[in-house]
Chains A and B, each alone.
Chain A
Amino acid sequence: MTFKCSILFAISIIFIFTFVAVSVKADNPRYADPEETMSLIKNSKALTVDTMSYIECMDHRIPGSICISLEEFDRNAPLLLKNKKRPIVFYCESKNCVRAGEVYKKAVTMGYEDIYILKGGLPEWKSAGYEVETMNRVRRTPVVSIKFNQLQKMMTEKKGILILDVRTESLFKEGHIEGALNIPMYMLHKQFHAIPGNRPIIVVDENGKRSFIASSFLISKGFGNVQRLFSGMAYKEKQDKIR
């Protein structure tokens, strides 16, 4: 083997190892369960970051958390999380914590060193008996959830309904109900003024878990006729598949 070949071989090996190491690090995030998270907060002054929308985060969050939604992480993290060595625990409001996982990946590439995902998210935190704090609670109001066939009926009857899709812009672009207005959840507190107040609103989300608080928020802001789609777009897509 020539000298040139040896160098190339060594570079390839280093590259592969680095790639594998980064991949492993990126694919296997560190998790902290609620007890470990509490210990990190108390003993290591860890910061907790709520990756849900501003409305949800202000409504209920782990005491002392910072609100940075997944969609705004690239822009807000450098401003709000300046110390890249400080332990940070990301969380969201589902057991699978997909949003927190996405934020974790971004944080890795942005150079945050000591980061975790709250295992089981906020539901697990509550199940473990830890409290949440409320900064600006959205008053819960009964909101009827309608199934997709009912929505279709309403659409054909042309009752002037407005379908408000609160999913992210990218998901909206992938596919949405015809004529829907997209205001992602993380922008709703800023952009709700753009929604016409005289039309019945049907709030649509990914799987029915966020549309309730979005609807309650709109009602608290004076929108009178608000309903939501049962199980969100996931249910609609499933029904489409069945058809």
Chain B
Amino acid sequence: MIVLTGKGIFWILLSFFLLPGFLNAQSSNLKMDCTECHNDSKFNIGFNKSVHNENGCTSCHRPFQSIDKHISKIEKPLLISCGKCHNEIEKEYSKNFHYLYEDFKCQDCHYEIHSLKKKQQKDSKIAIVKNCTKCHENEDYAASDHSAAAMKGNKDSAVCSDCHGLHDTRVYHTSLETNTAEAREFYSRKCISCHSDAEMMKRNKLSHKTVEYYEETYHGKVQDLGYPTRVAGCADCHTNHNILPPDNPDSTINPKNLVRNCGKCHSGFHQRFAEFKAHPDYKNKNRYPSLYWSFISMVFLLLITFSFFWMHTLLWWRKVYWEKYKLEKLGIVPESPLPHEEAVQEIKRFSGKERIMHMLLIISFFGLVITGFPLKYHGTPWAKALISFMGGAHKAGLYHRFAAVILIGLFLYTIWRGISFIFSKGSGRSGWRGWIDRLFGPDSLMPNKNDWPQFKGMVKWFFGRGDMPQFGRWTYWEKFDFLAVFWGMFIIGGSGITLWAPEAASYIYPGWVLNIASIVHSEEALLAALFIFTVHFFNTHLIPTKFPMDPIIFTGRQKLEELRRFRSLEYERLKNENRLDELKIEHPCISMKIFASMFGLASLWLGIIFTIILLWTFFFA
């Protein structure tokens, strides 16, 4: 055990005071000693003026054991890692391509390390370009706008290190088409980081929204979802180094060069395909009027449709709920005027073909929604998770097209059935009069003169100013359900096929129509999905009189009593035509009921979950 006496403490304190001075003296002595022999200008003048001047020789070189051996070049002082002081840079450098693949050391890029001076930011950018181009002579970059601005001292303009990294230099050999995905991802992110910086772009008189507009195109959406391999990233159109403005004749985005530029990825297109806008602002009325008005039209369509039908559903719900509540409160159960046997009797409402058509419609509809909406809301976590679950954007696209084929098939079959219905040999008037009768008759889904009074009657009933109107085979909202989907198919199907085969479509119309098709397809899809999930579901299944669902479309049958009560005109018509007996049908078997419940409820729940996700996206994402 060491016992400190007063004398011991005195010597310890003295050494504390004297040690730093002694070490400094040693350091400066060593520095002085080194330059006595190493006395060329690199050490005598260069090092004295360098940024490391204060450090002394032994901060980078380990001391040697024997001066004699050192003088006779037997013992060389080992180097101390620069990372001892520059530890953050050392961490970055551990990822550097030049270190990993070519074993570069600090001095291999900083060259005259002994006379190294600190650069100002403006100078440092120029110094970086000069340094990199010692090996990587790049005529393309030298001719670019980035280079011209950087050489003039623009500190915002991209130099080598801004895209490839400074100490963590990454290299993806795009020239050899290896690491395509990583390269697109990495370099596009670099472009985006500057070109979405509002202040930087404002300083340089450029739009910071270019990135945002790009991300609204198919290329940008797929890239943002994390699948950049098969879509154009920034460099695919603008090139890696030779980036020039569109008015420069050498620019790849100059109108004269666009056809060749698009042709790098696309083939078999008409030259007007190149009129596609790669990052348009569809809210800019002056620059992109067709896009602007397409967008506005779609917004209005959505607003009008939902304002009307959400209000209609809300009023209907209120009325039904209140009436049901009042009757329950008074203990009143409505009695049927029909005999018991007739009241429980079921009649056929939908044929087997119609039920299968509806099931296929559900499958294709959900298939399209699940595979398409992640692209629309590409920035959300649920979109990324869903696409990843499906195995990537490319596979999701394939499933989307498969579902679209089913829907197109159904659409064509519906047209065929419609034509067959109108031009069939009915029992009524012959010739064109018969066709008109059938087109606007009670079995047709076309609007007719009864719909408007029925709608007015319904509104009166909502407000307690009359009884619920009497309906025929089809109500006005059912006709709208059908016709909205039917006419919507021209818009969503037409735009979808255009986007499916954009090159072939260019033989019919110019490339900017693809931008319109994209907006229309996307907004029409939102209209269709929200309409089905919030209007059709609520009117048909979730309304208190039907809750939790109406299995009629799966079983194809309804109670005669229900027909008499809610579709009295149809009941009377069938009765007068003596057709009630031929439509009578057995109660569905247990397996059909179970299937109807399972399939129907699963579809309903899926729709409700999707509605919640969409609402979350609108308000919180």
Contacts and interface: CB of A to CB of B under 8 A. Distances in A.
Co-complex (A, B): yes
Interface of A: 59-60, 93-94, 122-123, 126-127, 129, 132, 140, 142-146, 207-209, 212-213, 230-231, 234-235, 238
A129 B93 CA distance: 11
A212 B95 CA distance: 19
6 contacts: A122-B100, A140-B102, A144-B134, A145-B135, A212-B135, A235-B176
Given A230-B175, A235-B176, A142 B134 contact: yes
Contact of A145 (B94, B136, B173): B136
B176 A238 contact: yes
Given A145-B135, A235-B176, 17 more contacts: A60-B103, A93-B101, A126-B94, A126-B100, A132-B103, A140-B104, A140-B108, A143-B135, A145-B136, A145-B137, A146-B137, A207-B173, A208-B173, A230-B175, A231-B173, A234-B176, A238-B175
Contacts of A230: 175
Contacts of B177: 238
Nearest to A131: B81
Nearest to A230: B175
Nearest to B131: A142
Contact of B175 (A123, A129, A213, A235): A235
Contacts of A146: 137
B423 interface: no
A123 B134 contact: no
Contacts of B103: 59-60, 132
A35 to B, nearest CB: 16
B99 interface: yes
Nearest to B99: A126
Contact of B135 (A93, A129, A144): A144
A234 B174 CA distance: 12
Contacts of B104: 140
B102 A213 contact: yes
**Considering the complex of A and B, which 3 residue pairs feature the smallest CB-CB distances, nearest first?**
A142-B134, A123-B100, A140-B108
Nearest to B105: A140
Contacts of A212: 102, 135
A122 B100 CA distance: 7
B135 A231 contact: no
B175 A231 contact: yes
Interface string B80-99: 00000000000000110001
Contacts of A207: 173, 176
Contacts of A129: 94
A122 B101 CA distance: 8
Interface in B267-288: none
B267 to A, nearest CB: 14
Interface in B177-211: 177
B135 A142 contact: yes
Contacts of B95: 127
A231 B176 contact: yes
Contacts of A140: 102, 104-105, 108
B108 to A, nearest CB: 4
B82 to A, nearest CB: 14
Given A140-B108, A144-B135, A212-B135, A123 B101 contact: yes
Interface string B125-144: 00000000011110000000
A87 B101 CA distance: 26
Contacts of A231: 173, 175-176
B429 to A, nearest CB: 70
B488 to A, nearest CB: 45
A213 to B, nearest CB: 7
Contact of B94 (A60, A127, A142, A213): A127
A127 B135 CA distance: 24
Interface in B557-574: none
Contacts of B136: 145
A201 B173 CA distance: 24
A11 to B, nearest CB: 46
B167 to A, nearest CB: 14
Contacts of B101: 93-94, 123, 209
Contacts of A143: 135
A144 B176 contact: no
Contacts of B137: 144-146
A144 B173 CA distance: 17
A123 B108 CA distance: 18
A208 B136 CA distance: 12
Contacts of A144: 134-135, 137
Contacts of B134: 142, 144
Q: Which of B103, B134, B137 has the most CB of A within 10 A?
A: B103
Nearest to B111: A142
A145 B95 CA distance: 23
Q: Which of B136, B175, B177 has the most CB of A within 10 A?
A: B175
A212 B108 CA distance: 12
A93 B104 CA distance: 13
A167 to B, nearest CB: 15
A127 B102 contact: no
Contacts of A208: 173
Nearest to A96: B178
Nearest to B140: A147
B416 to A, nearest CB: 49
A220 B99 CA distance: 20
A144 B94 CA distance: 24
A145 to B, nearest CB: 6
Contacts of A145: 135-137
Q: Which of B100, B104, B173 has the most CB of A within 10 A?
A: B100
Contacts of A209: 101-102
Nearest to A124: B100
B264 to A, nearest CB: 10
Interface in B329-359: none
Contacts of A238: 175-177
A145 B94 CA distance: 24
Nearest to A208: B173
Contacts of A213: 102
Contacts of A234: 176
A207 B175 CA distance: 10
Q: Which of A94, A142, A145 has the most CB of B within 10 A?
A: A142
Contacts of B102: 140, 209, 212-213
B434 to A, nearest CB: 66
A144 B137 CA distance: 6
A212 B104 CA distance: 11
Contacts of A59: 103
A122 B175 CA distance: 23
A144 B133 CA distance: 8
A122 B323 CA distance: 79
Contacts of B135: 142-145, 212
Interface in B352-384: none
B173 A127 contact: no
A182 B104 CA distance: 26
A11 B458 CA distance: 88
Nearest to A207: B176
A145 B108 CA distance: 16
A80 to B, nearest CB: 23
A135 to B, nearest CB: 12
A127 B100 contact: yes
A200 to B, nearest CB: 15
A59 B103 CA distance: 8
